[in-house]
Amino acid sequence: MFYRTAGQFKTSYSADQALFPVRQDAVLLIVILAFAWIIFPLTASEFTFQTLLIPILIYSLAALGLNILTGYAGQLSLGTGAFMGVGAYACYKMVTLMPWMNPIVAILLSGVFSAGIGVVFGIPSLRIKGFYLAIATLAAQFFLVWLFEKWAWLYNYNASGAIQVPNLDMFGVYVAGPQATSFTQYYVVLAIVSLLTWVCINLTRGRPGRTWKATRDMDIAAELIGIDLMRSKLTAFAVSSYIVGVAGALFVFMWRGAAEPNLFDIPLSFRILFIAIIGGLGSVLGNYLGAILIVGLPVVLGIVPEALGLEITSATVEHLNVMIVGGLIIFFLIIEPHGLAQLWRLIREKLIIWPFPH
């Protein structure tokens, strides 16, 4: 009923290639955008901004970056956290060395640094695959976090060894630092995440996406139909690390406000990987669904029992969260490797034929 597609015919290939060949999808997207751009920011409390809205967007973006590399191009990486760190430190150095720089430009440029370093650490992928590549990216993870600790220039020789986001303004409005409001920061994050999501959708639906998927599905056949595997893999590393780096800059500048090197350590890498897996490898939408679940679950676990009058300690909430996330990962890896995005696709297919299943 809601998803009836009868009467919607395609008369050109461009219409068929449109993002939303089915009208209801476009309507749904407009509703979601209206919530994201208008309703949420107008109604959200400080708590909602800080525990849900802003982190969900930033984690989605990081997972999207990882998904380009792992889900689309098939190159497993365990170094996402460190590449977020590269973006964050690059942004920190830019705004402190060049305080006149527009903060949004600085955030978007910081991805260029992580992209460069991503390509360097992507070179082993030309020789090794799968498990071995994962270990190589793990080495990158250790090396970079070690560098964040030891290279004092990166954190401007602060005694604490941490980076502290300064007040940064744009046209008289503070967008980062202690003076910035959550409301402003939410819009900055939303704008950047929307822009990069749109870019990723474009890249994945055209020739670059097919090149990556061919590399992922069968590299020998890909090479024999003329795909330059080296280029395919290295562009995936570059695009992926760019997005992950921007996510890292947002993570620190728009949300955490300060960062120590160990913030970018393995737990962060795994968190992003879990979001991508639960959301669905090889999907753009899935990253959002995964981030909503991973970020939202502990919040819900913290609120619901209390609202029901159950007494649960915060340690128990933490344990419950870990158990549920662990269970979900096992479920998705075994039962539904394409994650929440695939579940949504199935529901949508059912809705299209509902209520006449034949």
Partner 1 sequence: MNVHLQEDLSKHTLRADDGIAKGADLLKVENISLSFGGVKAITDISFDIKKGEIRAIIGPNGAGKTSMLNVINGFYFPQQGTITFRGEKRRRARASETARDGIARTFQNIALFKGMSTLDNIMTGRITLQKRSLLWHALWKGPAEREEIEHREAVERIIDFLEIEHIRKTPVGRLPYGLQKRVELGRALAADPALLLLDEPMAGMNLEEKADMSRFILDVNQQYGTTIALIEHDMGVVMDLSDRVVVLDYGKKIGDGTPDEVRNNPDVIDAYLGVPH
Query: Which stretches of the chain bind partner 1, using CB under 8 A?
Result: 13-14, 17, 199, 202-203, 205-208, 210-211, 213-214, 216-218, 220-229, 235, 239, 282
Residue number, 184 or 211, with CB nearest to partner 1: 211
Query: Of 217 and 318, which has the nearer Cβ to partner 1?
Result: 217
Spatial distance between the Cα atoms of 334 and 284, rounded to a whole number of angstroms: 21
Of 8 and 158, CB closest to partner 1: 8
Q: How far is the CB of 208 from partner 1 (least distance, A)?
A: 5
Question: For residues 32 and 230, which CB has a smaller minimum distance to partner 1 in the complex?
Answer: 230
* Shortest CB 116 distance to partner 1, Å: 15
How many residues belong to the chain?
Answer: 358
Q: Which is nearer to partner 1, 119 or 312 (CB)?
A: 119
Q: How far is the CB of 257 from partner 1 (least distance, A)?
A: 31
Q: Give the nearest distance from C-beta 210 to partner 1 in angstroms.
A: 5
Q: How far is the CB of 205 from partner 1 (least distance, A)?
A: 8
Least Å distance between CB 334 and partner 1?
Answer: 18
Nearer to partner 1, 216 or 271 (CB): 216
Residue (234 or 291) nearer to partner 1, CB: 234
For the bound state, the minimum distance from the C-beta of residue 239 to partner 1, rounded and expressed in Å, comes to: 8
